[in-house]
Structure 1
Amino acid sequence: MPTVTAPVAQRVRTELRQRIESGEWAPGMSLPSEAALCREFGTSRGPVRRALSALRAEGFVVGGRGRAPVVGKVVPAQSLSTFRSFTEWAREEGKTPGTRTLVLERRHATSMIAGLLELDEGAVVVDLVRVRMLDEVPIMIERASFVPDVGRYLFGFDPDSGSVSAELARHGSPLVSARHTIDAVAANRLDAEALGIAAGAPLLRERRLSKDASGRAVEHAEARYRSEFATFRVDNRAVDGSPIEVRSGV
């Protein structure tokens, strides 16, 4: 029996999710009744309930146990399985990306940054600090440090105008791989002022060490997101039947 109902449940789930993601069904809107969904998709309650359960697990639908289901607030999810810029991700989500650059200058690297980028102690790096926006709402502050022979290209480019990674690729210095570390931090004073939130508010932090085609570390970035506006998604798949390796750290 599951093999019969699963494709129908998947079809219902996909269609309802598309309506929510497109904005056709806005957050807080009541979903059609199970009976109405059964009539629309020509199926029984089983597949409809499976679809709604999956959508609840993903946060697209809230309610249940005696409460009528309603559309949840959809938080855009960035996939870490592919190497995409913030600008590319925002546009794929149907959002308008925006940027306000706070700092673009050469500085002496901290010991931590020098070590991560395999530079000598006190070496000069190019630092970039930007506030990133979706539909004019500030959702993230990003601090990035580049090795000097790569970062130099940013001084002939307006970082507010588009993708830094695309600009580096245009100069023959594409970022092709990255290691991501995700945790939570409290907003400091600069975070709070830039994002319009209270100092100490929780932020989702993504630290990224990016490398070029030769495997050389060329950028370290720390992006701090307002937690109500972003989530991260990692898609894993076993290759040739080998087990998936999952690592966690404290």
Structure 2
Amino acid sequence: MQALLAPIKQFLQCETPDEWIAEAIRPEQLSALLIDHCNCELKAAQTAMFLIRKYAIDKASGELLLNWAKPYEEFVYNKQRSVKDFLAREAKKNELIGELKPKVGVDYGPDLIAKMVRLIKEEFHHFEQVLAIMLARDIPYQNLTAGRYAKGMMKHVRTHEPATLIDKLIVGAFIEARSCERFAKLAPHLDEGLRKFYVSLLRSEARHYQDYLTLAQEISADDIAVRVDHFAKVEAELICEPDREFKFHSGRPA
């Protein structure tokens, strides 16, 4: 665990405040923690799909991605949803059926597709894992509005290409790195089942942040260090500032 966390702690400019951990491990916050975590896993998959569709593939390939996401989005937006029925569906719901073809002339297309498809598959799997934990603990799934964390990061994304894509990838790296850091800090305070689950997520989350950074540098003609440093400061402020709403990525409890 420490070997995985060392580069992440160096990448992030601050650790999660102890006040957030104290709030997160309160028994009455368990439902809120798991529900938001569940939503975050799905959002991560949807974001990666958006990046592939917008920047790396043609329309026909985009339809393949939409079909992959369909069972998950039907579950989320169906008010008559059944978690048990959804989880019991065949494993093929988390499979990309067909081959995605990179856009002609997009050099980074194949690498972006490969890294993001693997990320999507893992995030969908994590979404189902959290759902199963919630079902076992009689915690109903809920749709949630986004918190200030991701919105606060996205406000700083530049509005011209390829800078927009580069910045979005850097933002993705920070979200994944913060998730990994919080899983590690939360794990020792949770019951055995949740502790083992959160520790099991560390390796994939650590790789996700590295994949995002690798893609950002591959696409950028310049060293991305300046942009990484900028977003590191933004991210640290969001994590340390008072936050009135408790979320998996919220700041210090107000």
TM-score band w.r.t. shorter chain:
under 0.3
TM-score computed with the length of structure 1 as normaliser: 0.22
* Greater helix fraction, Structure 1 or Structure 2: 2
TM-score computed with the length of structure 2 as normaliser: 0.22
* Greater strand fraction, Structure 1 or Structure 2: 1
